[in-house]
Structure formats: structure tokens, C-alpha cells
Amino acid sequence: MWNWAKVLNVCGFAGVVVCAGGGLAGAQESPKYQEPPAAIVQLVDAPPPPRVSVSPAGKSGEARRILIEQYSGLPPIADLAQPELRLAGLRFNPKTNGPSRGRYITSLKLQTLQDGKEMAVAGLPAQAKIRFVAWSPDGRKISVVNSSDASGDAGLSLWIVDAASAKAGRVAGVALNGVFGDPCEWMSDSARLICKTIPAGRGGAPVRSEVPDGPVVQQNLGRVTPGATYEDLLKNPTDQEIFDYYATSQVAVIGMDGTSVAIGKPGVIEEATASPDGRYALISAQHKPYSYLLPYEMFPLRVSVVEIKTGSVKELSDRALQDSVPNIHDAVFAGPREYQWRSDAPATVFWVEAGDGGDPRKEAAVRDTLYLLDAPFTGGARKLAELPIRFRSVTWSEKHTVLVEERRWKDRARVILAVSVGAPVKLFEGSFEDRYNDPGTAVSAMNGAGKPVAVTTPDGSGVFLRGEGASAEGDKPFVAVMNLANGSSKKIWESEKGYFEFPWDVIDAGPVKVLVRKESPTQSPNYYLWSAGQALQQVTAFPSPYGNATLPTKQVLKYKRADGVELSANLYLPAGYKKEDGPLPTLMEAYPTEFKTKASAGQITGSPYEFTVLYWGSPIPFVTQGYAVLENTSIPIIGEGNAEPNDTYVEQLVASAQAAIDEGARMGVVDRNRVAVMGHSYGAFMTVNLLAHSNLFKAGIARSGAYNRTLTPFGFQNEDRTYWQAPEVYYKMSPFMHADLIKTPLLLIHGEADNNSGTFPIQSERLFSALKGQGGTVRFVLLPLEAHGYAARESVMHMFWEMNSWLTTYVKNAGSASATATAGVAKP
């Protein structure tokens, strides 16, 4: 039996698994969950700020309210230990037939906008775990789906909140199926909901046998069927049976008294939504044959319209298994897709069909065609528009002008059209990379039928847009009105200087009223009403989620890379720090981004006036431990013209990191001999590449990354080329291939249940083995039950403990700026 206290002391800091060159190199340990220093715990444990949603306009005279939603903090590991099935790309709790992961709402409050009167919603179960909340079209009721109640009932229950009294009551006898997400939607009369329910008498779940019936066989007979690397897939016939059992729903119309009217037959129903006039249901259902290589989104899909009163069914399409879609940008399903109701008509179905078979590499004058089909769905479809660029989105309006957006990845093109009678009007054309010239996106609101529509001026001549307002001085969000006849745009509201204000919702189109979320580095987010010519009227008074804790302030650095590309980073320094104190050990965090132009790559993101809102993966808490933190450090990877960004990925990566360190050192705050680099996912991939190809860092922290690109051979991140088309790119970009060059101490962290495409835990496992075999200093921490993003409090706190221990040993105590070690730009 090892004496672990002695082992850890020999290794140099609490928690090291692999000692740097002793006989304990292969030692394993199973530590209990640890917590980082109290100052980090205080920041990370803070609850998220409340979120608000505004009631629909409803009927004339109805009071406008906001619903205040308080989300849970970090859940306990026991929540993640609840039963979970991982099938067909889904994760769900078989006990509840609902979500197994994610934060939930713990409490609700209602506040009247006119007088500020606030009431806590009463009548909900004790220790409620609310997943889905929705206003009724008339603004008088709110539907709530709860996954836990005081009686201990398993399953998802439906509750209705009366907005005037703030009292909630359960709709009896309703068992919801939330495997595919939100199970319910309000109908236009605000008296009924259309829901996916668990079929009555479905019996017991299939039992998995330990004795196989035979082998699992897959084959491909000459067809081109490329595919990304997915997780949580079906593996055998038993998986298919279990998936069918839990994913099968009965669509029903539910009344407030619990009456239920079945619509159509049970099926593996992904979506069910009522027409604006309430007469029909649009139902999308998966069916066999399933795939063991693809998630449910690509399974065969049947789309039908069902008349609610008679039950008559009109099949609109039956899509085959989509296993031949190219794994590249702008590739789509062949045949009809994107089915939805037209929001501004009683019962009209909208869909899109590709003119290029779904393959953007094919020449096509018409890339996508938009179609409409009116009730009773027996006639021919009519064309709404033909698009030369791939369809992106559609926004309906009550004035019968449709906003259509097109996008093309190759040159980052973005086009916005206004479609009504006659030829479409081009309102905007530019690059979706160009944040400085982004016109914004249409502001939507719920209409009387409960469907989203664009908010337009009272005369219908203009549409309200909301934008980030990116600029060289940082984001300055705005509200503008765009003329639907010619695309001219005029700002009617913009964030005040010295604050970060975001237009949360347009409350009234005339006279204009906007609900604004306002914050500053010292002022936590709160909501205000803005009216033209009037001062902001405060609506909420949420306290800082961090209590009396001293928060680090942000300084936006602007500097240049050696090739002239403009870069930026958010610098955080310890409270009370002065330059006379000397340069600090530094933690750099980044996530590389691809661009087509240097101009777009150099644009500033974010605002210096935002309140610091931390999340579980933030590097900012390390400021409390005496580090300078470079957060959101610019790492642009640019491929102008015919060049692909990744052709020079490594060179641009190192140059960007070098520039950030040089700027921090020039300012006198960064000790270039004590810098660590960290990243998550693609940022972890970046981290290990920087350690392999430069001598800039004393340590690295890589969380949940992919390090061997031959394991993602059909593309990764924004790389469209396959391994066989660009083997040299895959090889050079894979830090696993250069493990012999990595001599810098590396902390690897990965979630044991990673669900992200391509970042299988084996990526970290094999890199750890490679580095260990090369004599590297490396520690690998596998977090039980955690997915790609870490959720449980125990896991997150332990992660911070691991990171703090690693940084203390290999960065903070590695020697100061006067040390003889010299940080180099690139390895020979």
C-alpha cells in the first residue's frame, strides 16, 4: 500500500500523478474531490444572474410583465449520477423521460412593468427543477415543465402559472415526453397546448440481455458516405429498441383542466407544432432504418400535417437516411427541409429545397428554392423565392413582408432580402465576418397566434434590428430601423458611453419603448425601460451575484502581430496591483478562430464596460492567486484569397501568442519567463500545439481537446478538406504527431462522458501515453460523469484545484523575470 502523503510530497505538489523522472512515473491515484483556495471558491460558487422574459403584448389593456427566472448554481455530482441513457446522439433520464443534464430554473417571479410590483410565483413544488417555460399568446398564463416535485412523482409534469395572481397549478394526468427537448407549445387560443406525451399503456422498457444474438454488421456498397465522428450513437438492435421505447410520443392537445385529445398515431416524434389558426398540427417523426454511425437528426424523417378535429393526415415528405451529405460547410440534406408554419398566415407550410442536391461544390444558378403550401394541402406548392446563396433563416412579419437571410461559407457572404410581392429587394450584402458593418438581426415578438414575427414600424415600412455594434472601441449595442423598400438604416438607440447596455426587447414599436439590460465593470446587470427623450427607468434591482467579493477589472489590450494583423486581449490584474510591484506570473487563455481577411481578423470583440460574469471554465478567478490573466486572447488563423487558413496554422498560432506576451511584457505586467497557456476543446488543441512548436510557456493546461486529427479524418472545426486531401495539414496540426517535442509540463483534463463530436476521451488518453513514453511531465485527470462542458460542483472545484496546483508548481514558483531561462519564439 502506497503512502500517498509521502508520494505527493516527493512529487513536488499535492496532486501530481507522474513525477518528473522517478520510479513513480506510472503511479496512479484516486483522490477525493478537492477544493481550490477560498477566493476562487467564492467566485465560482456565485449563482448566475437572473434572466428575464417579457410577456407578449396580448390583448389591449393587458398589463405587460417580465418573468424573472433564477437558475441553479453548480449542481452536485449526485445529479449527474442519476440514470442516463446515451442513444442516437441524445442524452436523457429514463426515469423522467426528459433531460439528464443542464442547469434548471429553481424559482420564478413576476414583475409588472408599469408599477414595478413583484410577486414570487407560488404553488410550484418544493425543490422545483424547471426546464421549459413559455408565455401564452395572450400574456395571461405561463406554462412550466417540472422534473421534480414534493410527491416524488417521476416524470415531467405540466404546470400553469396565472400571471395576474402569480399562482401555479399542476395540470393533472399529463405525462410529458421531453427526450427531444421542450415537449409543449401554446396554441393560438391560449387555452390549450399541443404536447408530446408518453403513450398510455406503453409497458415496461426493453431489457438488455448479456447474451448476444449475433454480431453487429455494417456495410457500404460503393456509395460515398462521409461522416464526422459522433458520440452516443446506437450500437446494436437492443439500443434501437430502447431508443424507440423512450423516444416514442403521442401528440395530444391538452386543456387547462387536463383533458387530452390524441392527434395522429404514436411515433418517434421530434417536433409537433400547431398552425397559427389552431386547426392543424405539423409533425416530424423519425423512422427506421436507423444508423449506427449517425445521430438521430440524420435518421429517415417523415413530415406530415394532421387536421386536429378529424385526424386526417397529409404526408408532405419522407426523407431517407442522410448518410451521404458532404461533411463540409453549406452542405445540406437533399430534398425538402426546414419545414415550419408561416407565422403570418392561418395555415401555410413553408420549406426549402436545394437546387444543387445539397452539395455546395456543384455549380448551380439557384442554390435553394423556398416553397409555400396552403391548407388544405391538396394543391400544388408555390415558390416564395429562388436564392443563389444557401438559405440561412426566414423571419415572418404581420405586414406580410418576409425577411430571408442567405449565407455562403467560402467567401463569408451574407445577404438579407425582403420578399413580398414581386422581385425580392436586397436590403444588405456583406460579410458575416465583418462585425463592424453588421446591420443587426430582426427583433422578433410573439403574435396573437403564438408565433414569432418581426417587429415592424406601425406603418409597416421598416423593421427593427438589434445589433452588437462592434467597433474599434468595443461593442456598442444598438437598435435601428431598416427601410424595407431600400435597406437604408437609422439607429434610434445606442449603448451609453461608459456602460454596456444591450437591447433585450422592443416593448412597443410606436412610441418606441425598449427594455435594456445595463451593466458596467462595477455595476451588475439590471434591466431598464428606455423611451425616446426620457431618462432610463430602472425596472429590476438585482444585487451582485458575488456579494462583497472584490472583482478584477478588465482592460482591453490592442497590439499587432509581426505580420501586421491587429490583435486584442482582455487583461485582468489582481486587486491593488501597481506596476511598481513588477511583472506577474501570467495565465493566457484563447480559442483560435478562422478568417478570410486580415481586416476582419483584427476587429475588436467584446466591451471594456461589461460586468465580469464568470462561468465554470473561466481563467479569471486565478487573478485572486496573484496572476495576470490574458483572457480571450486573439488567435486569428487567416487564409486570404485561395489560401486555406490551416495551411499556416502553426506559424500564425505561435506568432499570435508571441505578440500577446510581448505586449504584456512591454507594459511591465507580464513576466515572460512565467507564462502558462490554457484552453478548452479547440483551445486545448491550440494549447498543446503551442507547447510542441514554441518555447514561450512554462506550463500548459488542456481541457477536453482532440490532439490526433487522423481520428477526425473527414474534417474538423472549420477545416473542410479530408485527411486524404490534405494529409500534410492533418499531420502538422496534430500535436500528437509531435509529442517528442513537448517538454513543457502539461496538465490534461477531460470529461469521462464527453459528448462533443471528435473530442473522445481517448484523445487525451493517447496523448498522455505518448508524452509519458517520451519522458514528459504530464498529468491526466479524467472527471467522472462529465460531458464536454463540466457541470457538477465537485468536478468544477476539483478542476480549479488541479489547475491552481499545476500553476503554482510550474509557473508561479518557476522563477521570476530575472531567471536565466529565456523564452523563445519557436522551436528549431
Q: What is the DSSP string of 72-126?
A: P-SPPHHHHTS--EEETTEEEETTTTEE-SS--EEEEEEEETTT--EEE-BSPPT
pLDDT of residue 27: 61
Q: Which of 157, 284, 600, 681 is catalytic?
A: 681
Q: CB–CB of 784/752 below 8 Å?
A: yes
Tens-digit pLDDT profile for residues 422-463: 789 999 999 999 999 999 999 999 999 999 999 999 999 999
Inter-residue contact 418 to 603 (CB < 8 Å): no
Strand stretches in 533-684, DSSP E: 537-538, 554-560, 566-572, 584-590, 593-595, 628-633, 636-638, 670-680
Count of CB atoms within 10 A of residue 23's CB?
Answer: 8
Residues constituting the chain: 828
DSSP 333: -
455 and 471 Cβ atoms separated by less than 8 Å: no
Is-contact 162 177, C-beta < 8 A? no
Residue of 277, 647, 788, 816 with catalytic role: 788
Instruction: Report whether 173 contacts 197 (CB < 8 A).
Output: no
Residue 23 has pLDDT above 70, yes or no: no
Cβ atoms 603, 436 nearer than 8 A: yes
Residue-wise pLDDT for 273-290, tens only, equals 999 999 999 999 999 999
Per-residue CA distances from 662 to 677, 823, 826 (Å): 14, 11, 14
Q: Which amino acid, 8?
A: L
The Cα 644–Cα 651 span in angstroms is 13
Percent of the chain surpassing pLDDT 70:
94
- pLDDT for the residue numbered 210: 86
d(CA 288, CA 220): 17
Confirm if 815 and 673 have CB atoms less than 8 A apart. Answer: yes
Q: What is the mean pLDDT of residues 755-781?
A: 96
State residue 826's pLDDT score: 66
- The answer to whether residue 25 scores a pLDDT higher than 60 is no
Name the residue type at position 11. C
In angstroms, the CA 558 to CA 660 distance is 9
Whether 633 and 683 have beta carbons less than 8 Å apart is answered as: no
Which runs of consecutive H residues, i.e. helices, occur in 191-265?
Answer: 237-247
Q: Give me the catalytic one of 754, 764, 798, 805.
A: 754
Q: What is the pLDDT of residue 246?
A: 97
Task: Kindly state the percentage of the chain with pLDDT values over 90.
Answer: 85
Find out whether 450 and 393 touch, Cβ atoms under 8 Å: no
Q: Is 754 a catalytic residue?
A: yes
52-66, 281-295, 368-382: range with lowest mean pLDDT: 52-66
pLDDT, tens digit, 9 for 90 and up, residues 527-551: 999 998 888 999 999 999 998 888 8
Reduced to 3 states (helix: H, G, I; strand: E, B; else coil), residue 706 is coil
Q: Does 821 score more than 90 pLDDT?
A: no
CA of residue 150 relative to chain centroid, distance: 32
